[in-house]
């Protein structure tokens, strides 16, 4: 029973170890398969911390001044990773600004869509600036709904970011929207707000841009002229040629309205010169339009006609580039391609996840199967060992019973031998009194008793030898633990272990029971046993 309990406890411990090992190995394989995703999420988190750290420049590659929101142009368009996507978006925003200035709205729309397409979602600042320029293009094209959606998206994002420079830029864009679709009074409110914010953060270029837009509002001619003069001073200091040319164009309109034709012509010449030199086709077209109006107001119709003709040439040049419809078709195709690409990417990611899951399950099953096989092997092997131990234990029990039985038999025999000896002694005594003829017969009986006694003595000796051989292990352990014991002590220990009584031991040892008790006492002393320890139980435990 004890062996079975030990075996069952070992089986339970092994089963727990196998289960825990299977779970740990499954978790380990899961972590190994998910580690690339974890590393990617760490990279994106690191990139997200760099949001709103774009360096803004003050001039374009040709030395022309730009808005503070102008992104640094980046050469190349190859997109490989997160940083390349940001660079591609920044480059496209720069190209958008350039095309807006030369009057190529179609290409500006193309590039701003490119910026929105490639800008990472986590790059909030760049994405919102791209949306702002997209709104400006939609305002120019007269698309009310699209521009409203873009401006609303920018408004909520700029509010969260709390960047005053961008808030000034956004307020100016809102003014452009209200001037195009609502009223100039509402537009002026936003232009004034943009001007005040720009002055507060010392953003001179946005301040100049707001003043330029206020000059086209509802203020008096004197006030509008003062706005433009202040804007001209700022743009001269910063070297912003595009805004300066636009200031000259607007002030010439004011002078045309007030009848100051010579002053209007002077400023329109400056606008034409800057626009022709820099390739600002839209401003050049507007300058010839105002020039034609000035000549017509002065009565010089020939020059007015010549200005109209040049206007037509510039218009043909502007319209000769790719049309809005063509660009929108390209954009829709690219959006569709991106959607297909994203769908394919999601499908591949799903396939990879399924593959990873299948791999995890397969490896887990293999590991569990391997551990189960090891457990089965261990179980079978342990079972065999248990059976072997049970067989040995059974054999030992049988040998023990045999020893006890034989020792009892020997003790019984010795008791009967003593009786036989007493009979022989009585017979010998009897012969003294018998006649001579009967003595011979009685001697023959005595001889027969002696022969029986001799044969039984040889049997006893063989049994004792066999018992000693069976208990060799016990004798060896007893001798190893207690080397001071005598041969007689070892025999008594063997008899006590076989559950023989004191009287039976005395018979086997051919001594008195008192001698056996004395031997037991001496043995307890040699074994260093205290009074509470049972001598027989101790001997059985060896």
At residue 469 the predicted structure's pLDDT band, cuts being 50, 70 and 90, is confident
According to the model, what pLDDT value does residue 216 have? Answer: 92
Mean local confidence (pLDDT), 75-96: 78
According to the model, what pLDDT value does residue 62 have? Answer: 35
Cα–Cα distance measured from residue 289 to residue 404, given in angstroms and rounded to the nearest whole number: 135
Nearest-CA neighbor of 57 among 205, 202, 237?
205
Q: Assess contact for 535 and 496: CB atoms under 8 A.
A: yes
368-372 long-range contacts, CB within 8 A, separation 24+? 368/22, 371/18, 371/21, 371/22, 372/18
Q: Which has more confidence, 442 or 298? A: 298
According to the model, what pLDDT value does residue 37 have? Answer: 47
pLDDT tens-digit series, residues 6-28: 555 655 666 565 566 656 665 65
- Cα-based distances in Å from 244 to 280, 289, 342: 12, 18, 44
Q: Which has more confidence, 19 or 187? A: 187
Cα–Cα distance measured from residue 390 to residue 396, given in angstroms and rounded to the nearest whole number: 10
CA 437 to the chain's CA centroid: 117
- Is the pLDDT at 482 greater than 90? The verdict is no
pLDDT tens-digit series, residues 229-244: 999 999 999 998 999 9
According to the model, what pLDDT value does residue 220 have? Answer: 93
At residue 55 the predicted structure's pLDDT band, cuts being 50, 70 and 90, is very low
According to the model, what pLDDT value does residue 503 have? Answer: 80
Q: Which has more confidence, 248 or 501? A: 248
- Is the pLDDT at 44 greater than 60? The verdict is no
Please state the domain count of the chain: 1
According to the model, what pLDDT value does residue 256 have? Answer: 93
According to the model, what pLDDT value does residue 335 have? Answer: 74
Mean local confidence (pLDDT), 428-434: 71
Mean local confidence (pLDDT), 60-86: 50
Mean local confidence (pLDDT), 118-131: 91
Residue 40, judged by CB atoms within 10 A of its CB (0-12, 13-18, 19+), counts as: exposed
Cα–Cα distance measured from residue 271 to residue 312, given in angstroms and rounded to the nearest whole number: 18
> 503 lies in a domain?
yes
- Is the pLDDT at 271 greater than 80? The verdict is yes
> 475 lies in a domain?
yes
Cα–Cα distance measured from residue 27 to residue 8, given in angstroms and rounded to the nearest whole number: 29
Cα–Cα distance measured from residue 51 to residue 34, given in angstroms and rounded to the nearest whole number: 27
Average pLDDT, the chain: 79
> 351 lies in a domain?
no
> 195 lies in a domain?
no
Structural domain harbouring 443? 402-541
> 452 lies in a domain?
yes
Nearest-CA neighbor of 232 among 196, 190, 266, 187?
266
In percent, the amount of the chain with pLDDT more than 90 equals 35
Mean local confidence (pLDDT), 208-230: 93
> 263 lies in a domain?
no
> Model-level pTM?
0.53
According to the model, what pLDDT value does residue 253 have? Answer: 93
Q: Which of 87-101, 297-311, 318-332 has the lowest average pLDDT?
A: 318-332
Mean local confidence (pLDDT), 439-467: 65
- Is the pLDDT at 384 greater than 70? The verdict is yes
> 516 lies in a domain?
yes
- Cα-based distances in Å from 501 to 495, 513, 514, 516: 8, 9, 12, 10
| Three-state secondary structure call for residue 51 | coil
> 525 lies in a domain?
yes
Cα–Cα distance measured from residue 136 to residue 143, given in angstroms and rounded to the nearest whole number: 10
Residues ≥6 apart with Cβ < 8 Å to 5: none
Q: Which has more confidence, 498 or 352? A: 352
Per-residue tokens: 377: 């092997």
């Amino acid at each position: 029973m004890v062996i079975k309990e030990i075996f069952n406890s070992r089986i339970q411990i092994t089963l727990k170890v196998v289960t825990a090992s299977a779970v740990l190995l499954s978790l380990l394989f899961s972590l190994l398969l998910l580690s690339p995703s974890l590393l990617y999420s760490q990279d994106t988190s690191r990139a997200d911390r760099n949001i709103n750290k774009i360096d803004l420049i003050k001039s374009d590659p040709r030395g022309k001044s730009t808005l503070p929101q102008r992104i640094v142009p980046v050469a190349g368009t190859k997109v490989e990773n997160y940083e390349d996507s940001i660079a591609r978006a920044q480059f496209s925003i720069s190209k958008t600004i350039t095309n807006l200035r030369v009057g190529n709205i179609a290409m500006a729309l193309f590039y701003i869509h490119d910026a929105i397409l490639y800008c990472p979602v986590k790059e909030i600042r760049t994405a919102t600036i791209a949306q702002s320029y997209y709104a400006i293009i939609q305002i120019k094209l007269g698309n009310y709904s699209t521009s409203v959606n873009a401006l609303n998206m920018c408004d909520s994002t700029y509010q969260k970011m709390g960047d005053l420079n961008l808030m000034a830029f956004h307020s100016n864009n809102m003014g452009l929207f209200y001037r195009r679709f609502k009223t100039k009074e509402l537009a002026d409110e936003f232009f004034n707000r943009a001007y005040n914010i720009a002055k507060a953060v010392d953003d001179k270029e946005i301040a100049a841009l707001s003043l330029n837009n206020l000059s086209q509002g509802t203020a008096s001619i004197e006030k509008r002229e003062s706005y433009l003069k202040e804007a001209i001073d700022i743009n001269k200091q910063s070297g912003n040629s595009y805004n300066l040319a636009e200031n000259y164009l607007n002030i010439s309109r004011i002078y045309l309205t007030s009848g100051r034709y010579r002053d209007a012509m002077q400023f329109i010449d400056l606008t034409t010169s800057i626009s022709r030199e820099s390739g600002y086709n839209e401003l050049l077209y507007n300058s010839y339009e105002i020039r034609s109006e000035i000549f017509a107001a002065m009565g010089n119709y020939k020059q007015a006609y010549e200005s109209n003709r040049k206007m037509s040439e510039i218009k043909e040049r502007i319209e000769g580039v790719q049309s809005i419809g063509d660009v929108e078709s390209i954009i829709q195709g690219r959006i569709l391609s991106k959607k297909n690409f994203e769908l394919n990417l999601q499908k591949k990611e799903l396939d990879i996840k399924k593959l990873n899951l299948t791999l995890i399950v397969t490896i887990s099953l293999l590991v569990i199967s391997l551990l189960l096989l090891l457990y089965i092997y261990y179980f079978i092997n342990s079972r065999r060992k248990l059976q072997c131990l049970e067989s040995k234990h059974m054999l030992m029990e049988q040998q023990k019973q045999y020893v006890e039985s034989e020792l009892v038999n020997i003790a019984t025999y010795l008791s009967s031998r003593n009786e036989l000896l007493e009979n022989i002694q009585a017979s010998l005594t009897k012969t003294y009194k018998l006649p001579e003829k009967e003595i011979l017969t009685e001697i023959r009986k005595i001889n027969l008793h002696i022969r029986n006694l001799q044969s039984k003595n040889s049997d006893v000796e063989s049994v004792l030898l066999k018992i000693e051989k069976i208990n060799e292990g016990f004798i060896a352990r007893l001798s190893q633990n207690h080397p001071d014991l005598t041969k007689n002590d070892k025999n008594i220990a063997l008899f006590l272990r076989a559950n023989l009584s004191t009287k039976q031991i005395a018979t086997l040892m051919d001594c008195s029971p008192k001698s056996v008790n004395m031997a037991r006492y001496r043995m307890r002393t040699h074994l260093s046993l205290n009074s509470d320890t049972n001598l027989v139980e101790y001997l059985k435990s060896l």
